[in-house]
Amino acid sequence: MSLNIIKLNTYIDKALAKANNDYSDFNKNYILSIQISLDGFSFCIVDDERSKIIALETYAIQEIDNYEILAKDLGELINNLDIIKRRFNRVNVLFEGTKATLIPFPLFEETASQHYLNFNHKLEYGEEISFDKLNSLQAYNVFAIPTCIKEMIKSKFINYKINHFSSTLIEGLLIKYKNQDLNNQVFVNIRSNYLDVLIIEGSKLVFFNTFKYKTPEDLAYFLIYVLEQQKLNPENIDLIMLGEIDKNSKYYEILYKYIRNIEFIERNDFFTYSYALDEVPSNFYYNLLNASSCEL
């Protein structure tokens, strides 16, 4: 394994580990979900027949700023991960790219996909354009993905679908809260270098954006800026946290100085979870664990 890839956490059901040693026992009803970024790689396995999450593994990626190198190193890592070198019923790949834009159904034309993306982003050599159809949002998410990453996935898996990570994040939250009339609730998804801010009013998404941060002060600044722009009072909102953050985090501490009503998102009840994931807080890896619930 590349010295730039470091395993962080492994949570695997013993029954899955046992089946992993025998190809004939491996359940073809399993769904594999993978999340890829320049600074991280993670995957989970869902027993679709029982709607049960039975494995989760996470890695940190350091000192890689080139997708060609990332594709090579991840290809080698996947070759050495017997647990995901199987025939899955479905493979969901979530790509954490920075180039994406939402287009409402009535305005979307597939032939204009590059034109939409060029409004806000500069496409580089070696990037391809793809798009996800978000039925709950009634919009398409147009995004760029490096060809090398797409080809690496193609060489390792069959029956796969590559989506932008924000598609499953948005669609997953709209599905979870579709029967609730939300008001003054703001969702923040914390990633290692980015935060995603979503605001849902009633059952509709009214705001989504991603910000790059380096310090806790950056994170607080961007969130307060969004609240001001959306004319929301920090004292009156409920802030719901997703991602790898807990009450002992310095990021949580600074947010609590401005926002008193902070809670962590609960796990979805349409899944059950292996005992192996008992140690994992409900908000950690939320987007990855719920990727299979989004029909993109």
| Percent of the chain whose predicted confidence (pLDDT) is above 90 | 80
pLDDT at 19 over 70: no
Write down the pLDDT at residue 178.
Answer: 87
Q: For residue range 51-67, what is the model confidence (pLDDT) as tens digits?
A: 999 999 999 999 888 99
Which residue, 138, 108, 294, is CA-closest to 204?
Answer: 138
pTM above 0.95, yes or no: no
pLDDT band at 87 (very low <50, low <70, confident <90, very high): confident
- 41-45, 223-227, 290-294: segment of lowest average pLDDT: 290-294
pLDDT of residue 24: 45
Q: What are the residue boundaries of the structural domains of the chain, listed by start? A: 1-176+267-296, 179-264
Which CATH number is 179-264's, of 3.30.1130.10, 3.20.20.70, 3.30.420.260, 2.40.50.140? 3.30.420.260
The chain-wide mean pLDDT, for the chain, equals: 92
CATH 3.40.50.720 fits domain 1-176+267-296: no
Mean pLDDT, rounded, for 236-265: 95
pLDDT digits (tens, 9 = 90+) for 133-188: 999 999 999 999 999 999 999 999 988 999 999 999 999 999 999 888 888 899 99
Are the C-beta atoms of residues 246 and 268 closer than 8 Å to each other? no
Which pLDDT value is given to residue 183?
Answer: 86
